[in-house]
Structure 1
Amino acid sequence: MADNRISANLSATDRLAVMDAIATIRQKLPFLVDLTKEERKALPKLGDKSRAFVTKALEVGTQNPDFLPRSFDLDEMRRDMELFEALYPILLSLTQLQELVDDTAVAVGSEAYAAGLMVYNYAKASGKGTGLDSMVNDLGRRFARKTKKVPAKVS
């Protein structure tokens, strides 16, 4: 195989430890929510510029609470911002980890698929009469094309 970038094993023990660590993270963050695509799209986003805006707005509200309606919960705004700030480094770290895991899975999957194609091509080329015909046919089903139904012409 020409380009084998990854040659590693993940033991069952290590895999279980990683899954336990993920379970621990979920347990430590019991307040996590699952938004629908529509909900996510409808919400205003707190990016870098908005982050500074909210911080300043919180300070303005804290120093001048008299102009806010009594129903406005400044403490809840502060808790939301504190939670956002606490989650932000976790989000960055998990995003980076997720990208690494995803890239590794894509790369190792590609390597495995390329090796499978090589086995199939070698078996196809050299396997005639060696008892591999049924296995080659079975492997070849992966590439079988489905025929498209041609709509009947209406006269």
Structure 2
Amino acid sequence: MSTGKISATLNDADQAAVMDAITTIKEKLPFLLSLTVDQRKALPKMGDKNQPFAHKALEVASQNSDFLPRSFDLEEMRRDVELLAELYPIMVAMTQLQSMIDDTYLKVGSEAYSSALQVYTYAKASGQGSGLEPLVAELGQRFARRTKREKSQPTTV
């Protein structure tokens, strides 16, 4: 895979199509949730070792349901185990896609920032006397250091 300079565009129609595809995914998976950090921490985790355990427990429960209390919902357990298996390939594909989007966004951002730094450097070096001084000063505010006094004073909105 190339990690060279990215030279691409995303037109409005393609961006809209991607957003529509994301909307379609959300519509096809209406049971998706968004957990808080505390909710995530409180849940027992399903890892690689726990998946076979859950499948085996479902087999045991299905073949020997007489030892389970009546309140135990075996069919709900079956649906959960099956949904877990059905979601897995989607999760893998989406994780890979998310990683690629993150990496591309990082690389494009780096390229844009590097170019902006070059513009600022060139404008500082050769922009004097050409009317660029106010723009160079405005760009330079990105690197201005705040004094301790400015940091401690509350900003007013």
Query: TM-score scaled to structure 1, two decimals?
Result: 0.93
Task: Supply the distance in 1 between the matched residues of 2:136 and 2:82 (Cα, whole angstroms).
Answer: 60
Q: State the 1:126 CA deviation.
A: 0.6
CA distance in 1, matches of 2:40, 2:127: 54
Partner of 2:49: helix, strand, or coil? helix
For residue 37 of structure 1, what is the aligned residue in structure 2?
37
Give runs of ≥4 in structure 1 deviating > 6 Å: none
What is the identity percentage for the equivalent residue pairs of Structure 1 and Structure 2?
61
Paired AA for residue 65 in structure 2: P
Distance in structure 2 (CA, Å) of the matches to 1:54 and 1:27: 28
Structure 2 residues without counterparts, runs of 5 or longer: 153-157
Report the CA distance between 1:4 and its aligned residue: 5.4
Letter in 1 for 2:108: V
Question: Secondary structure of the residue that 1:48 maps to in structure 2?
Answer: coil
Which residue is 1:141 aligned to?
A: 141
- Match for 1:33: what amino acid? L
Q: Which residue of 1 aligns with 2:67?
A: 67
- Pick 1 or 2: higher relative contact order, CA cutoff 8 A, min separation 6: 1
Query: Deviations along 1:38-63, whole A, 9 cap, x unmatched?
Result: 00011011111000111110100001
Contact 1:127 1:133 in 2 (8 A): yes
The separation in 2 between residues aligned to 1:148 and 1:49, in whole angstroms, is 53
User: 2:9 and 2:36 mapped to 1: Cα distance?
Assistant: 36
- Shift in alpha-carbon separation, 1:49–1:67, aligned structure 2, 3 A: same
Q: Letter of the 1:125 partner, please give it.
A: A
Distance, in Å, in 1 between the alignment partners of 2:74 and 2:4 is 56
The separation in 2 between residues aligned to 1:54 and 1:148, in whole angstroms, is 57
In structure 1, distance between residues paired with 2:79 and 2:4? 49
Task: Describe the SS at the equivalent of 1:146.
Answer: coil
